[in-house]
């Protein structure tokens, strides 16, 4: 769940592309089908998760531009989960090229807080992302400790906290409610983060421009030539695929 308020280079690219493609290759018939299928899924997932809010309205691109100062509430149940949450934040931050510093909850630099969800409120995990001019300024992740899928819950919200304010229900992503047995980040999730924080995208990009640029970046990361990427990202193929 996401609530709105007022990101390794060449080696990483190769690893992300290879890992994501291997899930597609076995179901492909034609030699170019794996790349096309991978591109369609990844580009659609990016559009749905990074350029929308709460599965509905289109939204400008947002992402972190500076260091994350991470604090985890000292509630007993959360402290047990804290090392895993921190590891998840650091794993995505490494892809994004963002520094993470662990701080106390009373540190004035704190801009990423993980705390317990209100026990009297709705039984759900939640991420509130606050941004200004396309740059994330503050995040609050609330975790429902009684959840039987707390690890999935935490990773889902951490993904939201990196700028994916909506979901990708049709993809093999932690952002999909249909992937109920997926607790960790998939290769697609890592590819989405690498794309969002690619320097060719800019904080605050409008949905149309962001979608076109992201498609080209994803195509490149999947190993397509610039010419092929230009052809595949024109919209014709995606229109046929229902994008």
Domain harbouring 69, CATH code? 3.40.390
pTM above 0.95, yes or no: no
21-35, 56-70, 99-113: lowest mean pLDDT where?
A: 21-35
Predicted pLDDT of residue 10: 40
* Confidence at 129, pLDDT banded by 50, 70, 90: very high
Predicted pLDDT of residue 121: 65
Give start and end residues of each alpha helix (H) in 66-186. Answer: 76-96, 150-161
Look at the chain and report how many structural domains it folds into. 1
Percent of the chain with pLDDT over 90: 60
* Confidence at 235, pLDDT banded by 50, 70, 90: low
The better pLDDT of the pair 147, 197 is held by: 197
Q: Which H helix or E strand runs over 224?
A: none
Q: Taking all residues of the chain, what is their mean pLDDT, rounded to a whole number?
A: 83
Give start and end residues of each alpha helix (H) in 130-196. Answer: 150-161, 187-196
Among 36-40, 66-70, 122-126, the range with the most confident prediction by mean pLDDT is 66-70
At 35 the three-state DSSP class reads: helix
User: Which among 4, 46, 26 has a CA at the least distance from the CA of 221?
Assistant: 46
User: Which among 190, 169, 227, 196 has a CA at the least distance from the CA of 17?
Assistant: 190
Q: Does residue 104 register a pLDDT over 90? A: yes
* Confidence at 9, pLDDT banded by 50, 70, 90: very low
* Confidence at 3, pLDDT banded by 50, 70, 90: low
Predicted pLDDT of residue 229: 78
At 72 the three-state DSSP class reads: strand
Predicted pLDDT of residue 187: 94
- 5 lies in which domain range? 1-243
**Mean pLDDT calculated for residue range 125-144:** 95
Structure tokens at 57: 């309205």
10-19, 125-134, 207-216: lowest mean pLDDT where?
A: 10-19
Predicted pLDDT of residue 25: 30
At 181 the three-state DSSP class reads: coil
8 Å CB contact between 170 and 176: yes
The better pLDDT of the pair 49, 30 is held by: 49
43-52, 58-67, 138-147, 201-210: lowest mean pLDDT where?
A: 138-147
């Amino acid at each position: 769940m996401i609530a709105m308020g007022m990101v390794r280079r060449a080696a990483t690219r190769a690893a992300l592309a290879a890992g994501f493609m291997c899930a597609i290759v076995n179901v492909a018939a034609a030699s170019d089908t794996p790349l096309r299928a991978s591109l369609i899924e990844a580009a659609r997932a990016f559009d749905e998760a990074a350029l929308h809010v709460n599965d509905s309205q289109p939204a400008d691109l947002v992402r972190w531009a500076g260091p994350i100062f991470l604090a985890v509430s000292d509630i007993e149940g959360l402290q047990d989960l804290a090392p895993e949450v921190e590891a998840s934040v650091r794993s995505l931050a490494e892809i994004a090229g963002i520094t993470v510093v662990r701080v106390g909850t009373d540190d004035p630099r704190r801009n990423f807080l993980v705390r317990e969800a209100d026990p009297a409120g709705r039984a759900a995990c939640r991420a509130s992302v606050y941004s200004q001019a396309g740059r994330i300024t503050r995040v609050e992740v609330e975790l429902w400790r009684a959840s039987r899928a707390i690890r999935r819950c935490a990773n889902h919200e951490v993904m939201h906290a990196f700028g994916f304010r909506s979901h990708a229900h049709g993809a093999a992503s932690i952002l999909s409610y249909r992937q109920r047995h997926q607790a960790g980040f998939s290769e697609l999730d890592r590819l989405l983060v690498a794309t969002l924080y690619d320097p060719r995208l800019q904080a605050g990009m409008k949905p149309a421009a962001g979608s076109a640029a992201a498609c080209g970046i994803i195509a490149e990361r999947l190993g397509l030539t610039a010419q092929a990427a230009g052809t595949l990202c024109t919209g014709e193929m995606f229109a046929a695929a229902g994008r």
